[in-house]
Structure 1
Amino acid sequence: MEAARRLFLTDGLQVTLARVASEAGVSKGGLIYHFGSKEDLVTALAVRMVHEFRHEVEERVEADDAGPGRLVRAYVRVSVDPAADQTLAQERQALEVILGTVAEVHEIWRADSRWWKDALATDGLPELTRDLVIAAADGVWATVEWGDPYPPGRTEALRDRLLALTHEWGE
């Protein structure tokens, strides 16, 4: 999948399975054994991206944070991370655009969106606060794609303010 990711980023989805296999150092038959078609490889890569993001968020839930909004705060920490590698973030977003041209991938992302809505809905924050904080965090993340991210000090201030909002909602 790593070879496919690299090739899709540089050459798009027109890359052949033979080329992916060559890049990965495996036979085409070996690749087809694991991924029956290019569509299967593309959807597997999309599922991998979904699970990687979920794992990143789970890793950022603070062990001593038992209050309402703990999952939202972890989501913010991942999405608004001033230490994040901008090149990797831009690659991830570019790959999302490329994979997004496949209809099956849209269904994977819709299912993931529903999963997040359900998971975040049980996180204990009022719906409006939760939606505002998540939308803002996603917006800060999107500035990387636009090529004009906030400077590091501003990104940290935005992250801290969003985190604070998850504690102030009852005031």
Structure 2
Amino acid sequence: MSSDADIVVLSLIAEQPRHGYDLDRVIERRGYRQWTSLAFSSVYYLLKRLSERGLLEPDDGSEGRRTVFRVTDAGRHELRKAAGERVLAPAPPAAGVLPALNAYARLDEPELVAALAQRAEALLDRLDELRGLRARVDEEHALAIFDYEILRQEADLVWTRTLLKKAGSDED
């Protein structure tokens, strides 16, 4: 089973052969770090691991630190399979906030109301950040990713504000 990071790397190399630095620049430019944990150092680790699994191979005549990789037939098969599974499976809700609500006996507890108000502010900041990043990309699939994440964050904000209203807060 491939991880989300594996799918991102495979898909970017499936677009065109790339080396690690180029991958990192594309990941940064398209804002993929907003929704997946792909640090610069992990790009090289993933390239090595995907190569060891036979999903990537060096492009002809390419070696060393600037090794350019291409996707193998097995890599294309794995990419289609893993991507297809994820498209079909609805993502579970983010677990962080849901179990945390169980820590409070009532929605109007001052600590919960304060935390929810801070959450609403953080969501507004996050939405501003996402919208700014979206304005910098022009690839259709990258725009679709940002649109999805913006809608998720907007829904979270509506949910958070609904809880605040139920708690009798003045937060809007």
- Please indicate the TM-score interval, normalised by the length of the shorter structure: 0.3 to 0.5
Q: If the length of structure 2 is used for normalisation, what is the TM-score? A: 0.37
Q: If the length of structure 1 is used for normalisation, what is the TM-score? A: 0.37
* Greater RCO (Cα-Cα under 8 Å, separation 6 or more): 1
